[in-house]
Each structure stands twice: as structure tokens, then as C-alpha cells.
A and B are shown apart, each in its own frame.
Chain A
Amino acid sequence: MARLSDFAPDYAVHLRELPLPSFGTTPWTPAPALTRARVAVISTAGLHRRGDPEFAGGLGDYRILPSDIADADILMSHVSVNFDRSGFFNDVNVVFPLERLHELAAAGEIGSVARWHYSFMGATPPERLEEAAIEVARLLREDGVDAAVLVPV
């Protein structure tokens, strides 16, 4: 895992034929030095707080995950079953490495951990994500975040 040649032939064909976004250009924002960076995690694992509305898929909406959230309050309602969930069931950090990020901040390897982190539903057409992503970018800036790690599932 995971180059296309690693998959069964029919699944590799399915993955190869998935429509992919094409933006023509790659935007670039200079990154801060890690020891000064304020870092947020952006997940597309369909994570949300217990009690939040579940993801329905394809809507481009997002959920907020506070930096002090307890593992016990994190649920996953991703629409796909074509990935392993047993890792997440046993350890949230497999998909949402908040505890690891706090450890790096405590060790001085990064500047600080964002107050808020965000979760989207994967496999959502990018044009449906644009409005929410622009809003999340504004919220990240208000939180002082200058570096985001994007984590698919």
C-alpha cells in the first residue's frame, strides 16, 4: 500500500478512473519555521463530536473539533466502508493525531496547537468544499494558525 499496482486489478481500475480535481496551478504560501508555527489538523475522515450531526456525504459541510476534545467524544460517520475503521476504533491518533501534535508542542518542536481543528467528509467533489474551505481558512487565521496538516483516511 498504496500505489495503484498494489491493489487487486479491478479495484486499481476503479481507483485509476476516479475523477480527480484539476486546478491548473499549485498555490503556494510560505510556511513558518516549525518552532514558531501554530498548527491545525484538517481531517476528511468524517469525524465529529458525539452529539453533532452525522455526515451525510457530498454536502461539503464541516465539523469543529476543539483542541481539548476527549477521545471518547470523537465519532466517525464517513460514508465509505472501503477503508479500515478498526485502527480508529482502537486509537483516535491513527486518523486524528491531536495527542501527537500536543506532544510535539510540549517538546518545543512546533510553536503551538490550534484551538480549533476541522473535519470534512472525504470523497466530496471539491467545488462543494470551496465555500466551507474559505470560511475555515478565515477561522484558522483568526485562531492565529499559519500551518495546517491535511489528513485523509
Chain B
Amino acid sequence: MGGLSHYLESAGIATTGISLIREHTEAIKPPRALWVPFEFGRPFGPPHAAEFQRDVLRALLGTFAHESGPTIDDYPHDAPAGGTDEGWACAIDLPAPEPVTDLEAALVATQRELALLRPWYEQSRRTRGRTAIGVSGLPPEQVDEMAAVLARYAYGEDPAAPAAARHALPELIRYLADDLRAFYAEATAAQPGGGYPNPVEFARWFLTGTRIGDVLFRVRDRLVATDDRRLRGLAFVLIPRAFGELRAG
């Protein structure tokens, strides 16, 4: 954000910004900033916490009261805990992600997993009136095809991009992964029990507790094994750095 604040402020627009890493903001010295002690990806705190989000926004806007800068204010509250008190677990009884060694078994396992989650994805979509699926160009109705393309690529094939895809393979891979991640996250948001996972719980479950997680690790392994620098770069946008060494099974 440092570059944007510099250019906008220089052009006569007063700016303030959220700081996610205090040391970076101290080094960049934007005019005004509010440091928040939240997870990456949640600059205004947890979802569905309107009062908390308003408080963060008020604190951010409050930095406009400073008469000179650079300034960094510290937001004084941690984010309310996400997930459940006992630790979140997927309420849907997914088959244990035991090692699968061939494509046909992987296709069957991923389609079965998607079928088990689909009613809860649909419920979540109806309840919230939205879905974040769409960056691949494929609609939510084609999550089976999204998973199949990734599975085929994971097991050594070079599948064609589906007709509705907005990108060619292999660039399409990361968008398919994003859309499938949205499908799984949204399916967890409507499950019985009322809780939803915090970021670590979700990432751990998605990557190590599901068949699609195993497919993503296999896609990454294929990409990093190539001599193509572009493909190796693509591998690093599939698995979060903090979870790179985890595997299912």
C-alpha cells in the first residue's frame, strides 16, 4: 500500500491505510496508518462481525485527526475468536483422504467429496445470496469439471480447458484452485453446529482433510518438477507457504 498512499497523497487526496505488518509500515512511512493484530486476509477482522468491523473502520478514519505524519496508530483489540470453542471440525462425514495412486480413483473420490458438500454449498449460497466462485469463468454448477481438470493434470495428463474457462491451461490452474477453495469454504459456512472455521482450521482441513487438497499437492509437485520457470512459479500460488509441507493421508 506504500506506493499507492505516496502517489495519492502527493496528488492531493488525504490517505490512511491498514497496516498488517507493523515493521513494514514503520519502514515505508506512509502518512497515516492503523496497525491491526489480525490474520492476513482479514484486515477488518472476522466475517459477520459488523460492530467489530465498524469499530476498526472508525479507528482507521480516526487517524485523519492527526495534524502531521507519518503516524501509526495501534488498534487495541484482538479479533474475536473464529470457529468453535472446542475447535472446528467439518460436520460432513467425508471419507478419510487415504492415499490414492491412480487417476480413476482420484476422480471418483473427488466427485464423491463434492457431492457430499454440495447440499451445504447450495444452502450457504441461498442463505448469503452470493458465491465467490467465478474467477475461473466456470459457474458453480461445474465444480465437478473444475476438480476433474485439476485431477487429470495432477496425474500427468494435459487436459483441455473447459469451454467456459476464461484462461488457458496451465494458467487456469490457479483460478480453478481459487474457485474450489471458495466452494469448500462456503460449504462449511452453513453446516450444522453454527460455527465456521478460523483461517488455520479451514486451511488445514482443506489441504489435509479433503481429497481435493491431495490433488492440489500433486498438481504442485508436478509443477515444481518441471524446468519451466513459469510453471514453477505457478506452484507457489496453490499451497500457502505455512502449509507447504503438510500432506493428507
Contact = CB atoms under 8 A, between A and B. Distances in A.
Given A84-B202, A150-B15, A95 B42 contact: yes
Given A84-B40, A94-B42, A150 B5 contact: yes
Given A27-B10, A148-B13, A83 B40 contact: yes
Most A CB within 10 A of own CB, among B4, B14, B39, B241 = B4
A103 B12 CA distance: 26
Contacts of A37: 61, 64
A87 B12 contact: no
B208 to A, nearest CB: 15
Contacts of A27: 6, 9-10, 31
Contact of B70 (A20, A26, A104, A109): A26
Contact of A82 (B28, B40, B43, B186): B40
B76 interface: no
A21 B2 contact: yes
Sorting the interface of chain A by its residue count into under 10, 10 to 19, 20 to 34 or 35 or more gives: 35 or more
Nearest to A71: B130
Contacts of A153: 40-41, 43
A41 B215 CA distance: 37
A129 B2 CA distance: 10
A86 B3 contact: no
Nearest to B51: A100
A3 B6 CA distance: 23
Contact of A2 (B3, B38, B186): B38
A141 B53 CA distance: 27
13 contacts: A1-B39, A3-B21, A29-B12, A83-B41, A85-B178, A87-B39, A89-B182, A89-B185, A90-B196, A94-B46, A137-B7, A150-B15, A152-B20
A54 B135 CA distance: 7
A76 to B, nearest CB: 7
Interface residues of B, number: 85
B128 interface: yes
B175 interface: yes
Contacts of A129: 3-4, 7
Nearest to A103: B54
A20 B28 contact: yes
B185 A85 contact: yes
A39 B242 contact: no
Nearest to A41: B57
Contacts of B175: 54, 77
Contacts of A79: 174, 237
A30 interface: yes
A108 B18 CA distance: 23
B45 interface: yes
Interface in A19-35: 20-23, 26-32, 34
A92 B234 CA distance: 26
Contacts of B128: 71, 90
A109 B17 CA distance: 18
Contacts of B50: 93, 99-100, 103
B53 A97 contact: yes
Given A15-B21, A16-B23, A54 B166 contact: yes
B170 interface: no
A61 interface: no
A28 B9 contact: yes
Interface string A85-128: 11111111111010111011000011000000000101011110
Contacts of A100: 44, 50, 53-54, 57
A65 interface: no
